[in-house]
Structure 1
Amino acid sequence: MEFPSGSPTPPPGCPAHQSQNGSAPTHLERVPLHGPEFSADPQRFYEYLRQYGPAAPVEVAPGVPVTLVTEYSAALQVLQSPDLFSKDARRWRDLNEGRIPLDSPALPMMVHRPNALFADGAEHLRLRQAISDSLAKVDTHRLSRQVERISAYLIEQFSTRGTVDLIEEYAKLVSLLVVNDIFGCPAHLGDRLAEGWAGLWAGEDADAASKLIGESLAELVAYKRAQPGEDVPSWMLQHPSALSDEEMVNQLFTMTGAGADPVRNLIGTGLMLVLSDERFYGGQYGGALLVEDAVDEVLWNNPPAPNLGIHYPTRDIEFFGMKLSAGDPVVVSFAAANTDPALSASRQMLSKRAHLAWSAGPHACPAKDPATLMAVGAMEKLLNLLPDIELAVPVENLNWRPSPFQRGLVELPASFTPVQLRSRTPDPARPTAAAQPVDATPSTPAKGGWWSSFLARWR
C-alpha cells in the first residue's frame, strides 16, 4: 500500500520509519506504542496508524501485540458489542500459550482480575450494579465541599514556599484523599491506602505495594461490615448483589486505582493547559474560558486513560476488512478515536459528552461525573488561592509518564508568591481561607500520614 500524498511520516522508532517510498509496514510489522518517542507525542503515532484504516497492528509493550482501534465509529462498534468483544482477559490467546513475557509492564493493566472491569454478561451486571448504585448515592454537594477542604489543606502545606510540583504534591494527593473520603476510611487505613498507591505509581516494589493495598482494603471491608456508615463500601455491602468479602476487595481495588489515577492525570494535564494557554489564563483573551472548558478539552485531546479499552474477540471475525482471531486483544484507543479526522472540527462544541475518554457501552466508567467534579473543584481551588501561580518550566520541557495506558505528567513545577493560608473558622463546613504575603520559608506537612493529618485538621 502506498501512502497518499501528504500522509504523515512514520514516527521515530516505528518499523516503517526507514521504509522506501513511504510505503506502509506489512501486517507483520507492529508500531511500538512504548518508549520516549510515543510518550512525547502520541498523536503523531495515531495519525500515522490511521493509514491502516480503522484499526492497526501495534505493540503496547515489547513482545505484547494488539490491534489498536483508532476510528471513532469503529471504536463505538467494539464498545457496544459485548457479544462479539469480551472484556474477559482469560481469553487472551498469546498469554495462555506462553508468548507474553511474564515480566511485561503490560501485564498489570491487561491480566484478568475478578472484578467488573474484566467481567461479561450477568456477572458483569451483578458487580456493576453494586458499584453504580452505590456511587449514585454519593451526595454531590458534600463531595464538592470535601474536594474544597482537601484541596485547601494540601495547598496550605506548600503555600509558604512559593514553589510546588503540582503532580506529586497536589494532583496525586487530591485524588487519593477524596477517594479515601468517599470510602469512609478510618485514619490509619486511609494512610495505608495512600501509601500503597503512591508506592505503586512511583514504580517501587509493586508486589509489596499491591499487598499493602489489598490488606488495607480487606480490613476496610471487615470494618464496614461491623460499623457501616454513609459511604460507598457500606452501600455496596448492603446491595442486593450480595458481594462476598473477596468480591468487595477486588471491586474496591479497581475502583480506587481507576478512580484516583485518571483524576490525578486529569488535574495535572488540566492545570498544565490552564497555566500555559492564554485562552484560559490571561493573554489577549483575558482568560475567557473556564476551568470546565479546560477539563473538557483534556478529555477530548489528552484523555487520562488513552488506550484502556481492552477487548477480546469471542470468535474469528472480519472487522472493517481486517481479520481478527478469537482471543487476540483489540484495544480501543480513546485518544485516537477522539481526534479522528472524520469527526467535525467543532466536535467539542457540539457535545461535551460525545468524547470516549470515559469509554462507552456497558463498561462506560460509572464514576465519570464524580471524577469530573473532583478535577474541576481541585483546579478552581488552586487558582483561587494562588492567583498568580505560573509554570516554572516551558511546556515542551515537561515529561510524560511512559505508558500507552495512561496519559499523565511526571511532574508539573510551578511558582507563585508565597502566602500564609489560615482558616477563618474551625467549622469544617465553611472551608474559607485568608491569604497573607509571607517570607518564602519551607513548610512541612502535619505529622502522620496525609489522610490522618487531614482528618485531624478538619475534625
Structure 2
Amino acid sequence: MPPPLSSYGGCPIAPSSVIDGDGPRVALYTKEFAANPQRVYQELRARYGSLAPVEIAPGVPATLVVAYETAKRILHDPEHFPADPRTWQANVPLDCPVLPMLQWRPNAQRNTGAVHARLRSANTFAINGIDLHAAQVLAEKIAVRLINTFCAVGRADLLAQFVHPLVSEVLNTLVGCSPDIGARVAQGMAAIFDTSADAEDGNAILESALYEQTMHKIAEPGNDITTRMIAHSAKLTEEEVIHQLVVIYGAGIEPTVNLIVNTLRLMMTNDRFGGGMVSGSLSTGDALEELLFTDPPLANFCFSYPRQPIFIDGVWLPAHQPVLISMSACNNDPAVHSGDFIANRSHLAWGTGPHACPAKDLSSTIARAAIDQLLDALPEMELAVPVEDLQWRPGPYHRSLASLPVAFEPTPPMAV
C-alpha cells in the first residue's frame, strides 16, 4: 500500500508522528501552568518541536503551535486551517468550559472565506470610524478621575481600582453602551475567559446584554461602534451585530487590561524602564512593544480546525481538532528571538493574516494614555509585594494577573 498523501502540499510522506488525543498532554488551564508558562513552552518545544499536544480543558485535546514560522504559515492559510469550529463543536458536551469561548458565532472571528470577509468589513468600518486622538483624550480624562480616587491613600490595587474600570469605561463609550449593560458584558466575558464553571451562564449574560445594546442602538443611533455596524452596507442581521460586539468586547477588554497591567509590572521591575519609574531610559511605547513580544496579554489563541488530517512539520494533525497559536511561545522561539524589541513589530501578539486584530492601534492608544497618566501622577510608585508573590489567573488563553498591588507617597488629587 502506498504511503498516505499529505493534504498539505500533496506530497506522499509517511507520518513521523501523530497527534491524536490518546497520548499524554500538557494542561494549559492549571495554576501551575499559569505560574510559569515560558518554562512549559520551552519543554514542549524541546520534546515535540513546533507542534505540541495539550489540553485546553479537562478532556479537551488541542495542538499548540510553539514555533514562529509554523504559526505564520498556519495563520496565513485559512484554506487548510479554517476558523469555523462547527464540526468540532458538534461532538463537545454543552457544559464544556471552553465551549462559550470557542463555539461558532455569526461573526468574523469564527468564519472563513466570503462570510468572514463580509462580517470583517463591518467590523473594520466600525472601528476605523474611531478618532484615535479623541480616544486618547477620553482615556486620559478617565485615568485622572480614577487616580484621584486613590492617590491620597498611598496604596492601590491598580487592576481593580484603575486599569479594569478605565478600559471598560473607554470601550463602553466607544461602543455606545450604558454603564449597566457594560457591567453585565464585563461579567459575562470574565467568566468565559476564566473557563470557570460559570462560563455557560456568563455566555448567556453576555449575549443578553448585547441584545439589549443592539436593540437600543437600532432605536436610537449615535456616533459609536454599534451604530456604524448597523448602518454598514453589509446589512448585518440583529444576531450578527450581537456577535460582532462579542468580538469587540472580547478583544477589547481582557487583552487591553492585561496589556496595561503587565506592562506596568514590567516597568516597575526592570531597571531599563526605571524600576521606580523616574530614571528609566526607555519609554512607555518601548515597554509596550517589549511586553507584546515577551509576554503577550493574549498568550494562546487564534484557533483553527483542519478540515481533514493534515501533515505539517513532520506531524499529522487530526481533522477538526483545535489548533491554537501560542503567540507567547512563538514570539520567544529561539529561532527568531533576537532580544531586540525597539521598533520591532514582528511579534504575533495581534495575530497575522486574514484574522489579524483590526483594533491594535486603538488598544495601544488606550494603553499608552493610561500608563502615561499614571506615571505622571505617581512617578515613585512601586510594587507593594515581591514580584514573585504576584498571582496569575489560570486559563488557557490569557496572561493575566489577579491583582497588581502598589505603594507610593500619598499625593493630592489632580485638577480634572
Q: TM-score, normalised by structure 1?
A: 0.81
* Aligned with residue 164 of structure 1, among 156, 163, 171: 156
Give the letter aligned to residue 377 of structure 1. A
> Which residue does 2:90 correspond to in 1?
96
The equivalences for 1:353-432 within 5 A come to 353-423=345-415
Deviates more, 1:26-35 or 1:55-64: 26-35
* Aligned with residue 43 of structure 1, among 23, 27, 38: 38
> Which residue does 2:56 correspond to in 1?
60
Q: CA RMSD in A?
A: 2.2
- State how far apart, in whole Å, the 1-side matches of 2:104 and 2:166 are: 29
Deviates more, 1:286-295 or 1:31-40: 31-40
Cα displacement (A) at 1:346:
3.8
> Which residue does 1:236 correspond to in 2?
229
What's the secondary structure of 1:57's corresponding residue?
Answer: strand
Cα displacement (A) at 1:371:
0.5
The equivalences for 1:75-154 within 5 A come to 75-92=71-88, 95-97=89-91, 100=92, 102-154=94-146
Distance 1:191 1:336, change over 3 A: closer
Cα displacement (A) at 1:223:
2.2
> Which residue does 1:6 correspond to in 2?
none
Cα displacement (A) at 1:32:
2.2
* Aligned with residue 305 of structure 1, among 289, 298, 307: 298
Larger Rg: 1 or 2? 1
Deviates more, 1:66-75 or 1:166-175: 166-175
Aligned residues: 394
* Aligned with residue 242 of structure 2, among 242, 249, 253: 249
Instruction: Indicate conservation of the 8 Å contact 2:95/2:200, yes or no.
Output: no
| Deviation readout 1:15-45 (Å, 9 max, x if unpaired) | xxxxxxxxxxx98222222322211111111
Q: Which structure exhibits the higher relative contact order, with contacts defined as CA atoms closer than 8 Å and separated by 6 or more residues?
A: 2
Distance 1:315 1:57, change over 3 A: same
Give the letter aligned to residue 215 of structure 1. S
Cα displacement (A) at 1:344:
4.3
- Structure 1: unaligned runs, 5 residues or longer: 1-25, 424-432, 434-459
Cα displacement (A) at 1:218:
1.9
- State how far apart, in whole Å, the 2-side matches of 1:230 and 1:377 are: 22
| Deviation readout 1:58-102 (Å, 9 max, x if unpaired) | 11222111111111000001000000001011131xx534xx554
What's the secondary structure of 2:177's corresponding residue?
Answer: coil
Identity of aligned residues (%): 41
Instruction: Indicate conservation of the 8 Å contact 2:97/2:197, yes or no.
Output: no
Deviates more, 1:158-167 or 1:214-223: 214-223
- State how far apart, in whole Å, the 1-side matches of 2:145 and 2:289 are: 26
Q: TM-score, normalised by structure 2?
A: 0.89
- Structure 2: unaligned runs, 5 residues or longer: 1-20
Instruction: Indicate conservation of the 8 Å contact 1:27/1:57, yes or no.
Output: no
What's the secondary structure of 2:156's corresponding residue?
Answer: strand
What's the secondary structure of 1:296's corresponding residue?
Answer: helix
Cα displacement (A) at 1:387:
1.8
Cα displacement (A) at 1:422:
4.3
